[in-house]
Amino acid sequence: MNDVLIDGNWLEGERGEFDVVDPATLAVVARVSDAGPADAVAAVDAAAAALPAWSATAPRARADLLMRTRELMLRDTEELAALIASENGKSLVDARGEVGYAAEFFRWFAEEAVRPHGDFGSSPAGGTRTVVTHHPVGVAALVTPWNFPAAMATRKIAPALAAGCTVVLKPAAETPLTALAVARLMHEAGIPSGVVNVVPGLDGPAIVKAWTDDPRVRKISFTGSTNVGRQLLRQASDRVMNTSMELGGNAPFVVTADADLDAAVDGAMIAKFRNGGQACTAANRFYVHADVAAEFTARLGARVEKLVVGPACEGSDIGPLISAKALANVTRLVESALVTGARVAHRAAPATAPGHFFTPVVLTGVTAESDVVREEIFAPVAPIVTWTSEAELLAQVNDTEFGLAAYVFAGDLGAALKLAERIEAGMVGINRGLVSDPSAPFGGFKQSGIGREGARAGLEEYTETQYFSVAW
Ligand code: NAD
């Protein structure tokens, strides 16, 4: 196979090929070219060569190409959803939802690309005028995870291209097929050769090191775990690279005594079980007021018991975890919670397929110190902790190095907003279980990251501010 996309050419990888495996069936779904550091450098050659013409292309012309890419993605929704499901394992409903979400980044940033953005003012002392503009940062290296193989790529590619940057992308080794399919659609849309280059490979560290070592690469935008993010920040510091980091989460889901419990359970089903719990925004720990904990648990449990777990097909709600390692990790977390007094209050019916399936569970009697609430679970496990004092609740909610998403369900909207303001998280869903939205600034506080994706802020991540001081 020729899957390394450099300067519009589909090439072999310098290291041969690797298998992409369906985590639901453990069958090999494709063999993909295995790129290495020399391929990574060649991709930068192409991106650097394409940069002057692309950054000089009129914003409207760039926007039209992004909009066309969105149309092509929507045209191919079913094929893309099937591809996502085959390499990631998520349900078809989740996969179709991801295609729509991923395509929306092209529309949002096509619209943003053409909005004039800058400033003009006079200096306090007079005699000069200050003209502020924004410059594309240059060649951007994009590194994405496996959990949203389409959306994590388009959330970076669309703003980079809208800003006038060219890119080199390394998709996760588990799920390279979707990014490659999106790149084909970008080519079909007419995006010029060299503007988007894709380098799939098993040895992510070697590929990305070639980029952080290359002075032509001015930006690295990474989505993935906090541990790898830390390492890339260290690498990027040598050349003082512009960095954006979308890292791990440990989202609290708070239910107050006056919350609408139907809405809270609907929100919990989305926040916890969308994508099988494998989302950085996934509700990781539930803090339910003691007055309503039994009722909330019963209603949530009834919904969880009805979840259909299995390979992606019509009617299936939850797929497998991505790997045997992920399965071992969640098994460890649940077992350690059970040892410290938690119990399985509700469980779905197990899958019968051979893949890395974990049966969704609701845990009660969980203590705030338990590993299952302190670590990122990344699986369909809903641990419930009860609370009575708001001060103690806030102390527990904020007692984490993460600060990505949080959820608050409360009857009194004013009280909900006041509570949300005191939660150290970049995104808070208030009476809703979904915070991802291309028009909103996605990102975290603390060790959940640096920078924002989506919104106007997402475009600014790919620009440098430049000003002209003009004698007047
Ligand atoms: P990961 O950090 O293991 O890998 C992410 C990407 O980095 C992959 O492409 C991988 O090949 C590459 N990589 C791994 N080690 C590397 C290294 N040493 N040098 C360079 N590249 C390297 O993460 P994952 O398991 O793929 O994804 C799950 C994590 O991603 C979770 O922690 C989740 O919370 C986080 N995530 C965050 C967001 C967000 O927007 N904040 C979104 C999705 C996922």
d(CA 355, CA 317): 15
Residue type, 216: R
Counting ligand 1 atoms within 8 A of each CB, the residue from 142, 207, 223, 435 with the most, and so the one to mutate, is 223
Q: Which of 403, 447, 450 is nearest to 423 (CA)?
A: 403
% the chain with pLDDT above 90: 98
Ligand 1 centroid to 453 CA: how many Å? 16
Strands (E), 88-194: 119-122, 128-136, 139-143, 166-170
Q: Look at residue 176 in the predicted model and tell me its pLDDT.
A: 98
Q: Is the pLDDT of residue 86 over 90?
A: yes
User: What is the best residue among 32, 34, 94, 143 to mutate for testing ligand 1's pocket, by most ligand atoms within 8 Å of CB?
Assistant: 143
Cα separation, 210 vs 205, whole angstroms: 9
pLDDT band at 121 (very low <50, low <70, confident <90, very high): very high
| The pLDDT of residue 429 is above 90 | yes
The rounded Å distance from CA 303 to ligand 1 centre is 31
Distance 466 CA to ligand 1 centre (A): 32
Residue with the two structure tokens 């974990």: 358
Kindly list the distances between the CA atom of residue 4 and the CA atoms of 118, 208, 213, 339, in Å, as whole numbers in the listed order. 37, 15, 20, 48
**So what's the ipTM on this one?**
0.97
How many angstroms separate the alpha carbon of residue 298 from the centre of ligand 1?
35
Q: What is the mean pLDDT of residues 146-170?
A: 98
Please, which pLDDT band fits residue 117 given cuts at 50, 70 and 90?
confident
Residue of 98, 112, 246, 461 marked active site: 246
From the CA of 246, how far away is ligand 1's center (Å)? 9
First to last CA, the chain: 61
Ligand 1 atom nearest the C-alpha of 155 is: 40
pLDDT at 1: 78
Q: Is the pLDDT of residue 286 over 80?
A: yes
Catalytic: 369?
A: no
The protein residue whose alpha carbon is closest to atom 10 in ligand 1 is 172
Percentages of the chain per state (helix, strand, coil), in multiples of 5? 40, 25, 35
**Helix H segments across 128-198?**
151-163, 176-189
Tokens representing residue 94 in the block: 């989740």
Residue nearest to atom 16 of ligand 1 (CA): 205
CB proximity list for 299: less than 8 A, separation 6 or greater? 261, 262, 265
Phi, psi of 120 (to 5 degrees): -145, 125
Residue nearest to atom 23 of ligand 1 (CA): 224
Alpha-carbon distance values, 91 to 64, 154, 328 (Å): 32, 20, 21
Which residue, among 226, 318, 234, has the nearest Cα to 280 in the 3D structure? 226
- Cβ contact 39:208 at 8 Å: no
**Which pLDDT does position 277 carry in this prediction?**
98
92: left (phi over 0), alpha (psi -120 to 50) or beta: alpha
pLDDT at 116 over 80: no
For the cut 90, the answer to whether the pLDDT of residue 265 exceeds it is yes
pTM over 0.90: yes
- Average pLDDT of the chain, as a whole number: 97
Q: From the CA of 307, how far away is ligand 1's center (Å)? A: 28
For ligand 1, which residues put their CB under 6 angstroms from it? 143-147, 152, 170, 172-173, 204-205, 208, 223-225, 228, 231-232, 246-249, 280, 376, 404, 444, 449
- Give the pLDDT mean for 174-202: 98
Atom of ligand 1 nearest to the CA of 208: 20
What phi, psi does 155 have (nearest 5°)? Answer: -65, -20
Find residue 470's DSSP bridge partners: 129
Query: What would the pLDDT profile of 130-144 be if each residue is shown by its tens digit?
Result: 999 999 999 999 999
pLDDT score recorded for residue 305 = 98
Strands (E) located in 200-315: 217-223, 242-246, 251-255, 283-289
Question: Considering only CA atoms, which residue is closest to atom 20 of ligand 1?
Answer: 205
Q: Angle of helix 59-75 relative to helix 92-113, nearest 10 degrees?
A: 170
Q: What is the set of domains in the chain, with CATH numbers?
A: 4-247+448-471 (3.40.605.10), 251-438 (3.40.309.10)
Report which of 33, 38, 30, 42 is spatially closest to residue 6, judged by C-alpha positions: 42
Among 98, 147, 170, 233, say which to mutate for ligand 1: greatest number of ligand atoms within 8 Å of CB.
147
CA nearest 175: which of 325, 23, 69? 23
Q: Which atom of ligand 1 is nearest to the CA of 207?
A: 20
Write the burial class of residue 300 (CB in 10 Å: 0-12 exposed, 13-18 middle, 19+ buried): buried
Average pLDDT (414-442) is 98
